[in-house]
Amino acid sequence: SSGLLKLTSETERSRGQAFYPHHINFKNSTNGSVSSFSTIFVFAILSKYHGLSSNGMAFVISPTKDFSGAGGSQYLGLFNKSSNGKATNHIVAVELDTVQSTDLNDINENHVGIDINGLISEKAFPAGYYEDGNGRRQFRNLSLISGKRLQVWVEYDGVGKRMDVTLAPFKVSKPKTPLLSLHRDLSSIVNNEMYVGFSSSTATIVSSHYVLGWSFKMNGQAKDLTLSQLPKLPKPKKISRLLTIGLPFILVTVILVAVSGVVYYTRRKRKFAEVVEDWELEYGPHRFKFKDLYFATKGFKDEELLGAGGFGRVYKGTLPTSKLEVAVKRVSHESRQGMKEFVAEVVSIGRLRHRNLVQLLGYCRRKGELLLVYDYMPNGSLDKYLYNQPKLTLNWSQRFKVIKGVASGLLYLHEEWEQVVIHRDVKASNVLLDSELNGRLGDFGLARLYDHGTELQTTHVVGTIGYLAPEHTRTGKATPCTDVFAFGAFLLEVACGRRPISQSPVDEVILVDWVYSCWREGDIVQAKDPNLGSNYELEEVELVLKLGLICSHSEPEARP
């Protein structure tokens, strides 16, 4: 009744659409070309978690209002994996995207794009607007998930065959320069009878997508919106009448609680003390309070312990405010030397976005220790399924999916991100499984960054025996090739269900040597995990074993 249009409900993996109920004739009756049109709308995206968002929304021109077969998440409720990009879709959209999906070639996690028949944008640009003043034009960034109201203008010139998209803050006049323009004749894309409206979706992080006002017109300029008359965004719930009636009692109680709180805080201040230096102020959004992590993990109780390794203990936690499930890793760090560079690296790694990487959410620092906060993976680490059989096991198709996922994540680290990331500890125990048993490469405690094309520095040799490339132990220099060597050991580990180095009753067994001997005998598949039984694809198993051998080659140049 307020006129506020809410596209998505506050639930995970939901989608929502809203369209003008009647179709609109888009084409000129004389020559069949698409006529000029324009639209203006005001929108806002409110996230349940500050600074985090699921997915964005889109203004849509479509031949149908039925999107029952579409997927949520990165497909914005418009397409699914198989329909995305098909010429038969006849859909034009302007996406306001808040997540970087590498498989859709997104430029970043905060951009505007013009899409035709799919969500790989024909043209995209970071969200913002051009401000003219004092004879100069300056670009101002805008956050699509700020929770603030934003204006969008979409205009198509039917004669010049050009689409302009312009973005601006609420109550700011339309900028003279569009955010992005696309020269494209839409006549082969748009049918005569089309519907116009909006679509959005959410993933694991809940967001609400609102349209506060909308104007659309064919063959002319859309009517300006009266911004002062637009509905307001939802406010926090009002205090109940019970609190109002009992206000004097509540005030006394609050004062008593406050006094008790001061005493309690004074006693526990030392317990929750943190180390914060001036240079860390710029990393504010990436830093967690130790107190929040303490309560999230129930005081780092043993029953919340997920695992322990050479670089720290990992605990499950639920953040008190957002209720987001996380994994918290406590790493001892007595020296302040290099801490500034290390924290900067942690924050940089936190900007990595890939479906096969465990998201590093941030950090906290205390005297003598560093705490790293990751997404929680409910199915734990892969090694538990390889070495706890038959109680826990994965069939071949599940293992092959994990292998492909880790390969995709490693390719992103080495070649597809803005910097090269050397993981330096690729192994089964560092591959975590999400709720759908997708493999995600985690534990960036040893990772190192460097710019593409720069010379690598020699460091201390770190990693796990059995996964270390010969040249790494010899020179101390970690490279993408040393990660590939570790990936080769990982491939053999998953396919064979055996550790890279294991003890037999007689002597030590080197897995890569054993698989190589099977290959020399002409039956490499005999090296597979016997727990797989006969339920596997012969060609896939053979491919993984041979690729594992090639990646494990002693010469870096011979590795793929």
Annotated binding residues for ATP, written as ranges, equal 329
Placement of tokens 């290959």 in the chain: 519
DSSP string over 236-251: PPPPPHHHHHTHHHHH
Distance from C-alpha of 307 to C-alpha of 123, rounded to nearest angstrom: 45
Residue 231 phi, psi (nearest 5): -65, 160
Residue tagged active-site, from 425, 434, 443, 529: 425
DSSP state for residue 414 in the 8-state scheme: I
Residue in 196, 212, 167, 226 with CA at minimum distance from that of residue 37: 196
State the DSSP H helix or E strand holding residue 137, giving kind and residue range, or none if neither: strand 136-141
User: Could you tell me the CA-to-CA distances from 282 to 53, 340, 344, 347, 364 in Å, in that order?
Assistant: 21, 12, 10, 10, 14
Given a contact cutoff of 8 angstroms between Cβ atoms, the answer to whether 446 and 464 are in contact is no
C-beta separation of 163 from 114 below 8 A: yes
Note whether 500 and 466 are within 8 A (CB): yes
Distance CA 339, CA 347 (A): 12
Instruction: Give the dihedral sign, CA 64/65/69/70.
Output: positive
Q: State the SS3 of 339-382.
A: HHHHHHHHHHHCCCCCCCECCEEEEEEECCEEEEEEECCCCCEC
Position 348, amino acid: S
What span, in angstroms and rounded, lies between the C-alpha atoms of 357 and 347?
15
Residues 194 and 61 sit within 8 Å (Cβ to Cβ): yes
- Assign 3-state DSSP to the chain and report helix, strand, coil percentages, each to 5: 30, 30, 45
Residue 315 burial by CB count (10 A; 0-12/13-18/19+): exposed, middle or buried? Answer: buried
Of 486, 472, 428, 424, the residue nearest 449 (C-alpha)? 424
User: Among 474, 449, 398, 11, which Cα is nearest to 202's?
Assistant: 11
CB within 8 A of 338, min separation 6: which ones? none
What's the sign of the alpha-carbon dihedral 167, 169, 175, 177? negative
Known catalytic membership, residue 425: yes
> Cα separation of 297 and 516, whole Å?
45
How many angstroms separate the CA atoms of 519 and 182, rounded?
55
Q: What is the DSSP string of 170-239?
A: TTPPPPSS-SEEEE--GGGTS-SEEEEEEEEE--SS-EEEEEEEEEEEESSPPPPP-GGGSPPPP-PPPP
Sign of CA dihedral 155, 160, 162, 166: negative
Active-site residue numbers?
425
